[in-house]
Amino acid sequence: MTDRYAVIGNPIAHSKSPALHAAFARQCNQDIRYEAILGPLDGFRACVETFRQAGGRGMNVTVPFKVEALALADTLTERARLAQAVNTLRFDADGIFGDNTDGIGLVNDIQQRLGFAIGGKRVLILGAGGAARGSVLPVAEAGPARLVIVNRTQARAEALREQFAGVAAVDVEPCDGLAGQHFDLVINATSAGLHGESLPLPAGIFAPGALAYDMVYGNTETPFMAAARALGASRVSDGLGMLVGQAAESFFLWRGVRPDTAPVLQMLQGS
């Protein structure tokens, strides 16, 4: 019998998840059906329960329901608990299991696809919202020499540091405190560039050989990538590989099989 999975969000028509998971299923010889569900803004829980009662095995969760999914889960992974958001639900005999695969998707894309080892590197994360929160633990577990967070509202960055105290060593700098500092990896966890806003990056911020990674992706180079290149970043990348990576982690959580992300990423890049 074909197992059912879905992605739920609002809006959802733009989602690449059905194409990703269909490709993973073909590659791994898994008999699944994966659909996109437009979740009602005032009826997320009921929509998930209806899908579950109809035999659904799991769901991906996207904007704006990740926090509601956190409250819905009976069991959480540590990375989901710290991220305070869930993007993957699994339904089984023990109830609803919640995970957040965004951060590990990011780290795997950086280290495996791009071949950039985070261990021993100086890492800067721009932003202190949900995207940054989901990334701190996986990035910290990769063993950077230093992990720094910068956010326009410093209090939010400080709150993030406190949230991870005892789990990950995180430093916080003010936006105007980066001058004279150098980083090997700069991760943009904000959407500022897409809204025409400038990012707090002084000259010299990128060390020789540095990678600038934007969690946002698009059909052309993002504003952050262009700005980073102008400031001397040796390499730049958008977040399409992260999208594929987090989906692969969800697939593994559901099916126990880890797909090869490279051909699926090539498929998306060629579409």
Give 194's DSSP letter.
Answer: G
249 is annotated as contributing to ligand binding: no
Query: CB of 55 within 8 A of CB of 102?
Result: no
Query: What residues does 126 pair with on adjacent strands?
Result: 150, 188
pTM flag (> 0.75): yes
Q: What are phi and psi of 61, to 5 degrees?
A: -125, 130
At 198 the pLDDT is 66
131 is annotated as contributing to ligand binding: yes
Chain centre to alpha carbon of residue 175: 23
User: Is 121 among the catalytic positions?
Assistant: no
At 196 the pLDDT is 62
Helices (H) and strands (E) counted in the chain, each on its own, are 10, 12
Query: CB of 42 within 8 A of CB of 24?
Result: no
Query: CB of 240 within 8 A of CB of 269?
Result: yes
Helix axes 17-28, 240-255, angle to 10 degrees: 50
| Mean pLDDT split into 10-residue runs, the chain, 271 residues | 96 94 98 98 97 97 95 96 96 96 97 97 95 95 98 94 94 94 96 70 96 91 92 96 97 97 92 68
Cα 38 from Cα 211, distance rounded (Å): 36
CA distances from 181 to 5, 6, 118, 124 (A): 46, 44, 18, 10
- Whether residue 64 has a cis bond before it, omega within 30° of 0: yes
At 218 the pLDDT is 81
Beta-carbon contacts of 103 under 8 Å, excluding residues fewer than 6 positions away, are 79, 83, 134, 135, 136, 137, 138, 139
**Helix, strand, coil percentages for the chain (3-state, nearest 5):** 40, 25, 35
Of 94, 135, 96, 92, the C-alpha closest to 239 is: 135
| Yes or no: domain 3-99 corresponds to CATH 3.40.50.40 | no
153 is annotated as contributing to ligand binding: yes
Catalytic residue among 4, 21, 66, 133: 66
Sign of CA dihedral 230, 233, 239, 244: positive
At 68 the pLDDT is 96
69 is annotated as contributing to ligand binding: no
Question: Vertex 8, ends 3 and 12: CA angle to 5°?
Answer: 120
Structure-token match 């990896």, residue found: 185
At 270 the pLDDT is 81
Query: CB of 32 within 8 A of CB of 60?
Result: no
133 is annotated as contributing to ligand binding: no
Q: Are the folds of 3-99 and 103-239 the same?
A: yes
Query: CB of 264 within 8 A of CB of 244?
Result: yes
237 is annotated as contributing to ligand binding: no
At 141, which amino acid appears?
Answer: E
151 is annotated as contributing to ligand binding: yes
The residue ranges of every structural domain in the chain are 3-99, 103-239
152 is annotated as contributing to ligand binding: yes
At 199 the pLDDT is 76
| Yes or no: domain 103-239 corresponds to CATH 3.40.50.720 | yes
